[in-house]
Structure 1
Amino acid sequence: MSDDTASGKPDSGEEEAPRVFIVDDDEGFRDSMVMLCDSVGLETEAFASAAEFLRRFSPEMRGCLLLDVRMPGMSGLELQQELSRRNSRVPIVFMTGHGDIPMAVAAMKAGAADFLSKPFSHQELLDRIHRALRIGEREEEPRRREAEVREAYERLTPREQDVMHLVVQGAANKVIASRLGISQRTVEIHRAHAMEKMEADSLADLVRSAVVLGL
């Protein structure tokens, strides 16, 4: 956990663990939110301003952002717009005062995951945080799947890749053997190795992986 100060960014390409990022200019409120999240085992980082959060921002951030709508300097809505420009995948839960409902509606239309009107109960906040974390996990799944498929594909030998390309195009082993100038038995071996390395139990599985790879 860190409070009010931006911690160092992870090495490029390193995936961060999910956590709750809290951005609010009220120090007492930030501290109470950190304590609440800590009490249920949620990792947190807290920031006093949007600018401070942006200094910490990384495209690899995972979790959710608990964000006050009105803050000195850059507002919550302006931070949301900036994060959108930076292709952030972190779901945002906005916290608003009673008179800020129209701003919260605008934030939702711009892609925010949820909003809460102050004052709110601890349980209500935790429910919204967990919901936002689930949204983040669902959005991460295609990206995670693509990374796994690409890693598996890179383990194939060049010849296994050649065979896989032709298999997913619907070519029979005999045709593949002719095109590649190898025996049908060799094709069968390469095909079996490709299926195993790609963790494909069927041709349909292999085709799905090929779609992910854009083959």
Structure 2
Amino acid sequence: MNLWLTRILPDPRSRDARKDIAGAVDMHHRLMALFPDDVPSTEARRELGVLFRVETAPTGSQVLLQSTHQPDLTRLPPGYGTAQTKTLTPLLDALRTDLTVRYRIAANPIRKPGRTTRELYNLSSVVPLTGHAAEEWWLRQAEASGLKIITVQAVPLDAARGTRRQDAQHIKHNRTQFDGTAIVTDPDQLRTRLVNGIGKGKAYGCGLLSIAPDRLGR
């Protein structure tokens, strides 16, 4: 399986780009439009392995799009920005036990309390996690993904928001960005989680795990 990473640098002068950056649902539709329309499944995002993350820096925004099919960048609107695609397959092939890596993920840490707990504490069916609870969530997810965390820095992000076109449902996924270093404990499991993503809200900018070998590590 090939895995592709596309880096898009939206032009702030583009109205389309500004609109997409502001809304997770709009960005989802924009990125899905870069792929064939005839994917034989109602689960097109999953079939195409589409995950993305929008990052904001003082120099501007960038969109990281990961997919198992190469996107057609000519489908971006004129003046949208610059974009470049590379394969991640060599990175997947190079994963080995005890390799030290740097990681980043913007995830949607949540807890789903049972009925009794919900009724006792008047909780909703999905409880967003923050602070230490969010870090503990990530540590569990990382372990299940073939990573042993060495360091972690957790930074709350703005929620991924938008309104779905098909049913006008309002979407909100609270996000926390986790950065740090880790040791690979299970390369095969890590490859699976890199391709499939982690947690909820994958269609709307959550769950893309990015790694790179840590040259200062082992």
TM-score, structure 1 length as denominator? Answer: 0.23
TM-score, structure 2 length as denominator? Answer: 0.23
Q: Greater strand percent: which structure?
A: 2
